Amino acid sequence: MRVLVTGAGGRLGRAVLPRLLDAGHTVRATSRRPRTDAAVEWVVADLATGHGVAAAVGGVAAVLHLASSPNRRTHQIDVLGTRELVRAAGAAGVGHLVYVSIVGVDRVPIPYYRHKLAAERVVAAGPVPWSVLRATQFPQFLDDMLVASSRLGPVIGDRAVLAQPVDPDEVAARLVERLATGPSRDVEEYGGPEVLRFDEAVRAWKAARRSRRPLLPVRIPGRLGRVLRSGGLVTEATPRGSLTWADHLADTYGGTRAR
């Protein structure tokens, strides 16, 4: 099957491409700048402007839509860009569009999540048979956040916020399975193997880095804090990934995996 992957240069995209190739798919990938690769057909397309989108979907059987922009032009790229992609895919006769979203987009009151939820609705309302996979946060995101929150000395955060890190390679494997299964016209959630409180994650992170920085607890106020502490970012859905936060820390900072 010829599969188009948007956002192929991102963290998840880099995990998806080799899995698609290993599964025997022919892979076309989008980038805003020209790239070359003997194994992957790279094409130039820009969701923000629509440039190249119609050509990118021509002749493909399925689309894995991974592209997202959490920090700039989010509405333009995630919502309007998704609308243009869905429209073009429908006109090209694409048989399946898989959209990658985030667990909690329907609960966590932040603008980026509202845009992701709006994009889900664009996909569901469109002419292409579809599936949505919501994943929990990647451990690399949590790691980067802890590094940023400790730049002034202590690790700053709400100790009771719940997280469920999931390895991007396992999400990539789930996406390839989703392609093989075909359109579900439904939303599936996929999370990591364990739910951690923020203070638990910090303790393990500090031990892996051999850091003595204290945790400075700062309670997130209002509705956002309540949702994050009550599990807005986690899921009870099965199946789940198997790689733990401890596994990520061992791979990143050295040491022995938990298993």
**How many Å from the N-terminal Cα to the C-terminal Cα in the chain?**
36
In this structure, are residues 163 and 137 in contact, taking their beta carbons and an 8 Å threshold? Answer: yes
- For the record, the structure tokens of 83 come out as 């609308």
Catalytic site positions: 112
DSSP for the chain, please give it: -EEEEETTTSHHHHHHHHHHHHTT-EEEEEESS----SSSEEEE--TTT-TTHHHHHTT-SEEEE----SSSSHIIIIIIHHHHHHHHHHHTT-SEEEEEEETTTTT---HHHHHHHHHHHHHHHSSS-EEEEEE---HHHHHHHHHHHTTTSSEEE-TT-EE----HHHHHHHHHHHHHH---SSEEEE--S--EEHHHHHHHHHHHHT--PPEEE-PPPHHHHHHHHTTTT----SS-----HHHHHHHHH-S----
In this structure, are residues 237 and 174 in contact, taking their beta carbons and an 8 Å threshold? Answer: no
Q: Tokens 């940023």 appear where?
A: 148
In this structure, are residues 133 and 171 in contact, taking their beta carbons and an 8 Å threshold? Answer: yes
- Given the DSSP bridges, would you call strands 215-217 and 162-163 parallel, antiparallel or unpaired? unpaired
